[in-house]
Structure 1
Amino acid sequence: MRDIAARLGVSAMTVSRAIRGDDGISEDTRQRVLAAVAEAGYRPNDLARRLRSGEPDELAGLIVTGLANPFYAQLAVGVEDVATARGTGLVVASSNGDPGRERELVRSMAARHLAGLVVVPAGNDHRHLTGLPVVLAATPPRGIDADCVLVDDFGGTYEACRTLIGRGHERIGFLGLPPALWTGSERYRGYAAALEDAGLTLDERWVRRHRGDVRAAEKAARELLARPDAPTALITANNRNTIGALRAARDHPVALAGFDDIEVADLLQLPLSVVAYDAAEVGRAAARLLFERSGTRQRVVVPTRIVDHP
């Protein structure tokens, strides 16, 4: 601003007022200043301005458990859509499924005085989020009072299992997630309920439950499909498990139904049914709850549908 003021023969305060759009200067002077600023390529440093004024950052935070998972990428797109529309930037970080890492990230973001956080928790104890403007995604709050956005985990898995049963399958295996996770317990519950309602016995020998990992899922699927009493169909509890099962199915043909759609599903030679939903809407709904806090706690459930590929 001093350089622009010296070039135009005005005070630095006049330049500042012109940039901010304040009154007290003529329109001719304002336009001269703005033209000189544009010619010089000057851009306001919002961070420096806020540090000087003490204003909070116009930033929101998003913490997920794994950026490699396409679900979280789409969730981030949804949060960013809402944040951008209201002029708020977004800081994204991954806990890598580690609750300790998540707590460190929360402390770091809280110190920056962000507008709020959307968090996909890595653990079951959420008390470290107390006192922050926060919305949980994919998991309901435990130990705190907070808004949350969930997917219809139970209903989606129930319908996937019923789809396989309707096609004549009675030996249906399950590649699930750890029971401590909300998604792990709810999707297993949907699988078990569908079998029970169809009069079929849930055989734990056909069940494997681990944190979603492609290699672990492939190994588990191969073990199940190599059994003498191998299941004729598998339900996979997320997209990473589905990819692992697809790799195993190259050597052991099996009917598959998986939670989460995958981009290349329509290119597969093997028939695949998926529990599809709008992952970006999970993020948009969470961001709307964060920015439009009503004072009344809300739980939003994003619906699912069954899609057959190819």
Structure 2
Amino acid sequence: MREVAVLAGVAPKTVSRVVNGVSTVDPAMAARVREAADRLGYRPNLTASNLRRGDGRTATIGMLVEDAANPYSAALTRTVENIARERGVLVLIGSLDEDPARERELTGALIDRRVDGLVVVPAGRDQSYLISEQRAGTCLVFVDREPKLLDADAVVSDNRHGAVTAVRHLIKAGHRRIGYLGDRASIPTAAQRFDGYLHALELAHLDVDEAIIRHEVGTEEAAIEATGRLLALADPPTALFTSQNLVTIGASRALRDLGLQEQVAMVGFDDFPLADMLRPGISVIAQDIEAIGKLAAETLFRRIDGDESPTATSVVPTRLITRGSGEIRVGARRG
């Protein structure tokens, strides 16, 4: 660092401030420091730096999502990463695969690496194992689902209202037999969306038919099979509400394989890439992933910075995006 300071013509303290991302350094001076560091091949020793810091922070946070390959998880992670990067903070990412044991394993591994905080999409139904870590100073924010048996901040979508909106939209198109394809009922978001489905039917005074309801449909392949079975019934549904993006993709593939994409209406929960490029385009209830990720990251960093206000759950609204599939009217024929 002293050699960088000499080459850049600044004090060693200025080099330290540039390396640590202090925004008040004169831009021209900071540019000279970075150029000198590049010429000398200088890289800061973060481990030594962390040992010297009085606050014990490591400038890292952990983020645990359902599946980093899922479009929702990927977009959420990128939003948090962008905000962390502005603060010079590194994000360590892991996938939980809806496995409570894996949740405990990965949260433990990240805490052992002294991350300053965690953003978690919980897989289990009991987060009380984190109470001692929370008391020891690890900041926690939960996303998509609220924690159980633990008092912590959470940022969630309005799942129930979004599902009600989806089903009522199909009802307005004349549909009375609306099939449901959803993930495991034990998953809080799936349960909330199914509850919204049931409530929309109740509001329309429509009977619930268990024959056109499928749970445990969490993958594209399972959705393809479930959709085929529903449409092979003697009295099949004329419309589908699919409560998760991979399920929507699978159902869309099944409809195309059967040549029914212009006859069976569909609204999915969660947007996904290329949904607007299909014909018909896929109507969805879109979550505001950027708002969710931004709010989660800002809440976490606020806690890391010392905010001790009462914990809260923030609910982010969803919105209906109409693209064609949800507007197919009952009795439609292929054009």
Give the alignment's TM-score, normalised by structure 1: 0.87
The answer (yes or no) to whether the contact 1:75–1:281 under 8 Å persists in 2 is no
For the residue of structure 2 that corresponds to 1:292, the secondary structure is helix
For 1:290, which of 291, 300, 305 is the aligned residue?
Answer: 300
Q: Structure 1 stretches of 5 or more lacking a match?
A: 9-13, 22-29
CA distance in 2, matches of 1:271, 1:71: 19
2:46 corresponds to = 46
Shifted more, 185-194 versus 132-141: the winner is: 132-141
The alignment of Structure 1 onto Structure 2 pairs a total of residues equal to: 295
Q: Work out whether 1:20 is the aligned partner of 2:34.
A: no
Alignment of 1:197-236 (within 5 A): 197-210=203-216, 212-236=218-242
Q: Work out whether 1:158 is the aligned partner of 2:164.
A: yes
Q: Work out whether 1:115 is the aligned partner of 2:121.
A: no
The answer (yes or no) to whether the contact 1:273–1:307 under 8 Å persists in 2 is yes
Higher Rg of the two aligned structures = 1
Decide whether aligned partners of structure 1 residues 38 and 159 sit closer, same or farther in structure 2, where only a CA change above 3 A counts.
closer
Report deviation, 1:280: 2.1
Residues 228-266 of structure 1 show CA distances to partners (whole Å, capped at 9, x for unaligned) of 111000000010000010011010521111001122112
CA distance in 1, matches of 2:106, 2:183: 24
Q: Work out whether 1:273 is the aligned partner of 2:269.
A: no
For 2:320, which of 290, 297, 306 is the aligned residue?
Answer: 306
1:138 corresponds to = 144
Decide whether aligned partners of structure 1 residues 229 and 37 sit closer, same or farther in structure 2, where only a CA change above 3 A counts.
closer
For the residue of structure 2 that corresponds to 1:262, the secondary structure is coil
Shifted more, 77-86 versus 159-168: the winner is: 77-86
The answer (yes or no) to whether the contact 1:174–1:208 under 8 Å persists in 2 is yes
Report deviation, 1:108: 0.9
2:22 corresponds to = none
Equivalent position amino acid for 2:234 in 1: P
Equivalent position amino acid for 1:40 in 2: L
Report deviation, 1:105: 0.7
Report deviation, 1:279: 1.0
CA distance in 2, matches of 1:301, 1:17: 44
RMSD: 2.6
For the residue of structure 1 that corresponds to 2:91, the secondary structure is strand
CA distance in 1, matches of 2:195, 2:63: 29
1:249 corresponds to = 255
Shifted more, 238-247 versus 293-302: the winner is: 293-302
The answer (yes or no) to whether the contact 2:62–2:93 under 8 Å persists in 1 is yes
Q: Work out whether 1:264 is the aligned partner of 2:274.
A: yes
Equivalent position amino acid for 1:95 in 2: L
For the residue of structure 1 that corresponds to 2:186, the secondary structure is coil
The answer (yes or no) to whether the contact 2:103–2:123 under 8 Å persists in 1 is yes
Report deviation, 1:80: 1.5
Residues 99-126 of structure 1 show CA distances to partners (whole Å, capped at 9, x for unaligned) of 1111111111111221100000112111
For the residue of structure 2 that corresponds to 1:61, the secondary structure is strand
For the residue of structure 1 that corresponds to 2:49, the secondary structure is helix
For the residue of structure 1 that corresponds to 2:276, the secondary structure is helix
Residues 37-74 of structure 1 show CA distances to partners (whole Å, capped at 9, x for unaligned) of 55322121223322465742101110011112100011
CA distance in 1, matches of 2:36, 2:259: 70
Residues 80-111 of structure 1 show CA distances to partners (whole Å, capped at 9, x for unaligned) of 12212222221111112211111111111111
Q: Structure 2 stretches of 5 or more lacking a match?
A: 18-28, 325-335
Equivalent position amino acid for 2:141 in 1: V
Equivalent position amino acid for 2:206 in 1: L
1:11 corresponds to = none
The answer (yes or no) to whether the contact 1:255–1:271 under 8 Å persists in 2 is no
Report deviation, 1:20: 3.2
Give the alignment's TM-score, normalised by structure 2: 0.81
Shifted more, 292-301 versus 195-204: the winner is: 292-301
